[in-house]
Amino acid sequence: MQASITSWKKRILHWLITRILVVLIRVTGSTTRVQRLNYEVLKSILEEYGSVIVATWHQNIYFSIWLLRKEDLTALISSSDDGEAIYDVFDHYGYQAVRGSSTRGGIPALKQLIKLLKDKTSVAITPDGPLGPPKKIQSGVILLAKYSGVPIIPWHYEADHQWNLNSWDRHKIPKPFSKIIEAFGEPFHVPKNLLPEDVPVFCEKLEKIMKELAQKTTEETSNNNKL
């Protein structure tokens, strides 16, 4: 009986969290002004390859749901209990999803994503998730690009007014009526003949590129505020 009550409460809490997130994202998205940088590179890669891997830091997940909702992406979402609510929010905004991890024994998820990319379905991945360390590239995204033959497009956004949660990734929550800049990086290619011992080198290269993109986006946001 106690287990049944606990399960019922858990379902109610899950429903409430999902509804709240959906509403908050919509309210914020409806009141923010968004400027896109280098968006044409995404379209160019899609025309050439048919699909793309969009990579962003885990701290960007919340509002990426709104900013990337029209890009026809399939998201990789953690199979944890926390990921369940995120999965439902992504679903509400029209995303498809693969549950699992690109690391920590996540071979089945990687295989699903490789198949999707080869079938011309683009995917979104947080290469420092689901548990961190923050802004540290794990090998999964490099292997995904290697075996699919599809390039990685780094993506980042910054808001001129936002909250940062006290979480391991310092998750970002833009405030309503903010000005937001989202930026697409240049394509990052991983050769199909990449040797296993060279995977860490490519992780470091991509990590550096993603950090530089974040820094440039932050600087652009700061410069806009001075105008």
> Which run of H or of E encompasses 173?
strand 172-174
Per-residue pLDDT tens digits for 158-168: 999 999 999 99
> What confidence tens digit (pLDDT) does each residue in 185-220 have?
999 999 999 999 999 999 999 999 999 999 999 999
CATH 3.40.1130 fits 2-226, yes or no: yes
pLDDT of 148: 97
Cβ distance 95 to 74 under 8 Å? yes
Residue 182 pairs with which residues in a beta bridge? 36, 157
* pLDDT average, residue stretch 99-117: 82
Which tokens in the block code for residue 68? 């990337």
pTM: 0.92
pLDDT digits over 137-179, tens only?
Answer: 999 999 999 999 999 999 999 999 999 999 999 999 999 999 9
Question: What is the Cα 183 distance to its own chain's centre?
Answer: 13
Packing angle, helices 199-226 and 139-148, rounded to 10: 110
Question: Angle 201-44-209 (CA atoms, 0-180°, nearest 5)?
Answer: 25
Q: What interhelical angle do 139-148 and 107-118 show, nearest 10?
A: 40
